[in-house]
Chains A and B, each alone.
Chain A
Amino acid sequence: MEYFIAQIVNGLAQGSIYALMAIGYSVVVGVVGLVTFTHGEVIMLGAYASYYAFTFVGENIFLGIIAAFFASWFIGIFVYKICYERFFDSPRHISLICTIGMSMLLKNLAQIVFGPNMKAMPQPIALNFVNVLGVRINTIQILIIFVVLSLSLGLYIVNNKTQWGIRLRAVSQDKQASALMGINVRRTAMIGNSIGCSLGGVAGMLIAIYYQSILPTMGGSLGLKAFSSAVLGGLTEASASALGGLLIGLIENLGTSVLSNSYRDVFAFIFLVLVLIIKPEGFSKKVGG
């Protein structure tokens, strides 16, 4: 029983990282109106940004968050300029294919620049165990949950309580109508894309801290998990995507406690296939176009 509860705690902690990736993914898909295949690499690069900040500046968690956030913000701008902005008036699949190419490019560049091997991720906070209501939970897990909740809350406030949020949501819903409101659609989509990428980048840092390691090819399965989680939210609904991430985290950890750890990624993708079979439009409350 204790083992079971521990796996649930692990699942929730890991799931909240996936949730953050998925929220970022849904923001990106919302504003650019297309699925992206670069999200995993953005996550990876965010993780590396914090790795280098920890290594060369100091092992401070806030520093890591800032490094990951802004590095992915600028990578978001780069991806946007290359894969989206130039192809606004072209058929949509061109941008899509461009994100696939971009993903390969970034992954391989990362192997050249950062080295192809796994590195140990510095740990900005000490690992301790605490008892919360009789459940054993460690400080890293608390950190993860705290960071994810803060960023999600931040996004919620921007989205729902500010005029910027109205701009972002308007552009997600109807680009032409947004232009007719006087909104600079390209600039707004670029910033929205960067917000989504930044959330992914910070999630990348968290997963590297969680696994205590970092690898240039880590983005592949993470990007797919972000995608799988977001599918639950009909790809663009942040809250349902977050739920998808949590579920995948839970399923993975409960699944590995029954079967072998090497099946970890299998569960996420079984989940994706099941969602697509049972409810292909996702569980978002979105109505109309």
Chain B
Amino acid sequence: MLEVHDLSVKYGYINALNGIDLNVQEGEIITLIGGNGAGKTTTLMAISNLVAKDGGHVFFKGMDITELPAHKIVQMGISHVPEGRKIFPLLTVKENLIAGTFGSKKKSAADLENKIAEVCTLFPRLKERIRQAGGTLSGGEQQMLAIARGLMMEPDIIMLDEPSLGLAPIIIEEIFRLILRIKDSGKTVLLIEQNAAMALQVADRGYVLERGNITIEGTGKELLTDERVRKAYLGI
């Protein structure tokens, strides 16, 4: 469904990505793991065309989306929940959720309310805070809002950039359970994580990114038992 071919990105003289290839099939959870500065965020930004590519192509549902402007890529059905949440601080929780629908066809007022109610069943906390300004939510609540907002457009694929960053273990488990539920609802997930152990447990397949290169790839199970992965990312 999503294919990345020979993708390279440079920031000035720094090579952030050196021709990586990856593909995501419909209905899969794919995880991209790697240390700090490996280029994970850059990969998602390049797919969304928020950074200029130095080379390579991105295909979605067979279409070349390499040069499409960012908002058009979203409108094709790719939801990107960015690193650091990027909640609109002065919009209420509800308005943030409504903003999440701008990438899809305009919904009727009733459909919009239904959709909001639906994502609120995934995140009951958000329902209690529906009129609160996004910027006043706690970090964990903001992360939930960011994911909920990413689901509002009913995307075909959702790309999550470190959804567990800075959250308490209990909340992290909640988020991973939710990722499985997103998959069960028929969506495809591209998950970036530092928390390699948990990511690999939920993932169908995974890629390991090191200094801008994909060094290892395989099923979640294979990677969990891979000696190099265990040493470098699982601390075993």
Q: Chain A: residues with CB nearer than 8 A to chain B?
A: 163, 166-167, 169-170, 173-174, 176-185, 286-289
Contacts and interface: CB of A to CB of B under 8 A. Distances in A.
Interface in B28-82: 48, 50, 69-71, 74-75, 79-80, 82
B135 A183 contact: no
Nearest to B112: A163
Contacts of A167: 99, 102
Main secondary structure on B side of the interface with A: loop
A182 B69 CA distance: 10
A11 B106 CA distance: 45
Given A166-B91, A169-B88, A176-B86, A182 B50 contact: no
Contact of B50 (A179, A181, A286, A287): A179
Contacts of A288: 89, 135
Contact of A174 (B69, B86, B149): B86
Given A169-B91, A183-B99, 9 more contacts: A167-B99, A167-B102, A173-B91, A181-B99, A181-B153, A182-B153, A183-B103, A287-B89, A287-B133
A184 B102 CA distance: 9
Contacts, number: 75
B95 A166 contact: yes
A184 B133 CA distance: 23
Interface centre among A174, A182, A183 (most CB of B within 10 A): A182
Nearest to A173: B88
Main secondary structure on A side of the interface with B: helix
A289 B86 CA distance: 10
11 contacts: A169-B88, A169-B91, A173-B88, A174-B88, A179-B69, A181-B74, A181-B102, A181-B149, A182-B71, A183-B102, A287-B90
Contacts of B69: 179, 184
Contacts of A176: 50, 82, 86
Nearest to B52: A89
Contacts of B98: 163, 166
B180 to A, nearest CB: 24
Contact of B70 (A166, A169, A173, A179): A179
Interface centre among B102, B136, B149 (most CB of A within 10 A): B102
Interface centre among A170, A177, A178, A185 (most CB of B within 10 A): A177
B83 to A, nearest CB: 11
Contacts of B206: none
Given A169-B90, A183-B102, A286-B90, A177 B71 contact: no
Nearest to A182: B103
Nearest to A237: B90
B86 A170 contact: no
A184 B74 CA distance: 10
Q: Which 5 A-B pairs have the closest CB atoms?
A: A182-B103, A182-B74, A177-B86, A179-B70, A288-B89
A287 B153 CA distance: 27
A286 B87 CA distance: 14
A288 B90 CA distance: 9
A176 to B, nearest CB: 6
Contact of A180 (B74, B133, B136): B74
Contacts of A166: 91, 95, 98-99
B89 A173 contact: yes
Contacts of B99: 166-167, 170, 178, 181, 183
Contacts of B86: 174, 176-177, 180
Nearest to A236: B90
Contacts of B212: none
Nearest to B84: A177
